Structure 1
């Protein structure tokens, strides 16, 4: 989460020096090659079934092509701090999708959490002086990127029932890179020739973002999804806005407004309630108490 939080800052820095979609294509392609190379030497590659190819391609479409293209384009027109807070809705949106498509229960606590989370985003994107007019097109792109990432997480959970999360990650990155490369010719004609920046710092940030954040970061995260599930893993996304806010303040000099901090608190509360995290803790404690005092609890029940 720390790596991904700082990566939002890195991508914001990179889109100021490179064409966004082409930059994302090459960055993700490098990450994919590194991931596949590591898996080859670890002998952790195998032939995929048709079903696995289909799920992997679908996850790449939403998680790489959709998410990263919208993220890069959005960061051209909005700040890293606002983007990170909107991306903080990922756990809550994952919970909502699970209710719609997987039949999860909508309890009072979860409904309260959903309201809290989206109230937090309102604080983040609305400028007190401008109101609704303060919402930029970049904010909308980031919101679409967030939803696209959530869809990919649901697909990844299904795919990793039979496929190694590490191999899935590597193939997803390569498919996503190819897709973004093709998209760049439509959105950014001649963009490949504009990737010749000679600033050494820019290239250090570029390769660090590609290898560490996108390559290793996705391998770690998808491995976590495989072990503890999409819902529990998504709870940790709360840390991304925190690290991104700190990074954008110290590294990019972006101001942090009181409304953003208030929004951050609403989003965190919303995620903890909306994902059922607090509710599950309460249920687990009640079960432990019942097991510890079976006679007493039976009497009072």
Structure 2
């Protein structure tokens, strides 16, 4: 039986919304921390693994599942972890060369890569109206960041890193879209987060970033990053990707700048500008059009869309 056709125990689109709200806090906690970006990413994932491990006591089946994983699944999980680690490193590193707005705008181009990857790897077809909604949401993202957009010099190098960050996170979701048809969300998340943590620690040691010696408040922000945008954000996406495609999740993530702007207003006292209001409304309209007119996969009732499985893997 194709697991993607099972009825989800929780509405997938509601789960997607909760995940988007959770990841909207990521930029806030990163800004509040004084640690180097690679260290923030590293402890975000390490703490996520630490917080996940106790749940093995209530999920003994996950231990058996992980123990029975085939070499192919292990390699795919390691590839997924490499994509996720690369995404964090490329995105964070891009901020050293270009503006936050430029980096964020380019990273949010991930739906374009998701459209392409979904078509070639899963045979997904996107309706014209849904595609128009996706492009409209991307335009909204550009409206938000256009005023601070930078091109040229070292900023161009930073823009290239951010664009690669969009490619790698799309790869992360595409691998997850396949593996999650054959593996539980808990086991997949634990293995991938562990692999990502190891890769990030190796990166820190290779570049000479100290792993200790940071202020006490930074450790609190590391914990918050693990709990909210990771466990309540990315982990929810890892669960919901069994029923929603990479393209749909990428579209939903375009709502992150809206949530971040709202949180920044209340927590950091930042002013919400006119372009942010306009861009936010355009993004919401685009996401609505995409979800409203996106074609559900065959065999799944409306509202329970499932990502297609490649024919050779079905």
TM-score relative to the length of structure 1: 0.75
User: Structure 1 residues 74 and 238, CA, compared in 2 at 3 Å: closer, same or farther?
Assistant: same
SS in 1 for 2:183: coil
Shift of 1:222: 1.0
The match for 1:236 among 214, 235, 252 is 252
Q: Match for residue 177 of structure 1?
A: 197
169-178 vs 238-247, which deviates more? Answer: 238-247
User: Structure 1 residues 208 and 214, CA, compared in 2 at 3 Å: closer, same or farther?
Assistant: same
The match for 1:215 among 211, 226, 231 is 231
Shift of 1:225: 1.2
Given that residues 123 and 263 in structure 1 are in contact (C-alpha distance below 8 angstroms), is that contact kept between their aligned partners in structure 2? yes
Matched, 1:13 2:32: yes
Task: Output the CA distance in 2 between the equivalents of 1:34 and 1:8.
Answer: 21
Q: Match for residue 166 of structure 2?
A: 146
Q: Match for residue 278 of structure 1?
A: 292
Given that residues 67 and 146 in structure 1 are in contact (C-alpha distance below 8 angstroms), is that contact kept between their aligned partners in structure 2? yes
| Gaps in structure 2 of 5+ consecutive residues | 1-19, 297-301, 303-314
Task: Output the CA distance in 2 between the equivalents of 1:131 and 1:169.
Answer: 36
User: Structure 1 residues 252 and 132, CA, compared in 2 at 3 Å: closer, same or farther?
Assistant: same
| Gaps in structure 1 of 5+ consecutive residues | 283-287, 289-301
Q: Return the index of the structure with the highest Cα Rg.
A: 1
Q: Match for residue 242 of structure 2?
A: 226
Task: Output the CA distance in 2 between the equivalents of 1:58 and 1:96.
Answer: 19
Task: Output the CA distance in 1 between the equivalents of 2:204 and 2:259.
Answer: 30
SS in 1 for 2:241: helix
Q: What are the Cα deviations for residues 193-241 of structure 1, in whole angstroms up to 9, with x where unaligned? A: 5x4123x433222212123432343332211112444444444324422
User: Structure 1 residues 73 and 255, CA, compared in 2 at 3 Å: closer, same or farther?
Assistant: farther
Q: Match for residue 295 of structure 1?
A: none
Matched, 1:23 2:16: no
Q: Match for residue 204 of structure 1?
A: 220
Given that residues 62 and 149 in structure 1 are in contact (C-alpha distance below 8 angstroms), is that contact kept between their aligned partners in structure 2? yes
Task: Output the CA distance in 2 between the equivalents of 1:49 and 1:174.
Answer: 17
Shift of 1:164: 1.1
Shift of 1:87: 4.9
User: Structure 1 residues 50 and 95, CA, compared in 2 at 3 Å: closer, same or farther?
Assistant: same
Alignment of 1:1-301 (within 5 A): 1-14=20-33, 17-43=34-60, 44-45=62-63, 46=65, 47=67, 48-63=69-84, 65-75=85-95, 87-91=107-111, 93-105=113-125, 107-127=127-147, 132=151, 138=158, 140-186=160-206, 188-189=207-208, 191-192=209-210, 195-198=212-215, 200-273=216-289, 276-280=290-294
Q: Match for residue 11 of structure 2?
A: none
SS in 1 for 2:147: coil
Shift of 1:58: 1.0
Shift of 1:142: 3.7
User: Structure 1 residues 78 and 131, CA, compared in 2 at 3 Å: closer, same or farther?
Assistant: closer
TM-score relative to the length of structure 2: 0.73
Given that residues 118 and 246 in structure 2 are in contact (C-alpha distance below 8 angstroms), is that contact kept between their aligned partners in structure 1? no
Shift of 1:177: 1.0
**What is the count of residue pairs matched by the alignment?**
273
Shift of 1:75: 4.3
Pick the structure with more helix per residue.
1
